[in-house]
Copies of this chain bind each other. A is one copy, B any other.
Amino acid sequence: MAIRALVWGENVHERTNDAVRALYPDGMHHCIASALNAADGITAATATLQDPEHGLTTPRLAETDVLLWWGHAAHGEVEDGIVERVCEQVWSGMGLILLHSAHFSKIFKRLMGTPCNLSWREAGERERIWVANPRHPIAKGLPSHFVLENEEMYGEPFGVPEPLETVFISWFQGGEVFRSGLTYRRGAGKVFYFRPGHETYPTYHDRTVQQVLTNAVRWAHNPAARMSDVTSAPNVPVEQAPEPIETRGPNVHEPGDEGFR
């Protein structure tokens, strides 16, 4: 069965900025989804901020194997309840790929537990992306490095936890460096942050970038059944303990209590 990807786009600058509209007349989310749909074994759909519930209803997330997220100007307009809903799906096993300015999305900050900040410069400078982890599934088919002639600069320090793996590191013409591809696991969900993708440049039309996204979707897909009750803290009654024991001492819980949260 094909991997079901869902590309979420904030869809603001595509409608309000002429340069962005010219590059992505149907929105960046459509450009990305088209690239994914061209790959074997992936079917990609789209959702946007403007859709009811941002296009991220519970049934739709339940049918999503990997969610890709692009946002920039309107992070604050994403509803907190939907952020929690997405979080729970990630913990339950849904893959999540954060793109470029999504470093400051509510969902990424929520999953990282850190500020996720960085330094930046919008000068259309050259970015050279190096593969730091050869033969990693996300780097499949890539050369040792590739160039995006015009990109926004993001510079270290990147305010994230130590990653599980560092897949890409970027060199910028203006003198900075950045860890451009980082993997994490949160619960049963695999998380990948990928740096490139400023809206005023044709990054998502680049074939190598499209290859990375395709690879990342395949990597982030957890084929196991989604977990249920992913935040529960089950009580194991004394009579169900794996080894026979008897209760000793005083209690704050009554039998059958669910515990404090």
Instruction: Show the binding face of A for B, using Cβ within 8 Å.
Output: 13, 17, 19-20, 72-76, 87, 91, 93, 101, 104, 110-115, 117-125, 128, 130-137, 140, 144-145, 147, 150, 153, 155-159, 161-162, 164-166, 169-177, 179, 184-188, 199-201, 222, 224, 227, 230-238, 241-243, 245-253, 259-261
Copies in the complex: 4
> Which of A122, A131, A159, A200: most chain B CB closer than 10 A?
A122
Q: Which residues of B contact A147 (CB under 8 A)?
A: 242
Question: What are 27 A-B contacts with C-beta separation under 8 Å?
Answer: A13-B252, A19-B250, A75-B261, A87-B113, A91-B115, A114-B186, A114-B187, A119-B234, A120-B233, A122-B247, A123-B238, A124-B250, A130-B155, A131-B156, A133-B157, A134-B187, A135-B224, A135-B227, A136-B188, A145-B242, A155-B236, A156-B169, A171-B177, A171-B242, A176-B236, A176-B242, A201-B249
Name A248's closest neighbour in chain B (CB-CB). B124
Whether A121 contacts B236 by the Cβ 8 Å rule is yes
Contact residue among B114, B133, B184, B224 (Cβ-Cβ distance under 8 Å from A140)? B224
Q: How far is the CB of A79 from chain B (nearest CB, A)?
A: 16
CB distance from A99 to the nearest CB of B (A): 14
Q: Please tell me if the beta carbons of B128 and A242 are within 8 angstroms of each other in the complex.
A: yes
Ordered nearest first, which 9 A-B pairs have the shortest CB separation?
A175-B242, A124-B249, A124-B248, A19-B250, A135-B188, A174-B241, A175-B243, A115-B231, A111-B113
Contact B157 A132 (CB under 8 A): yes
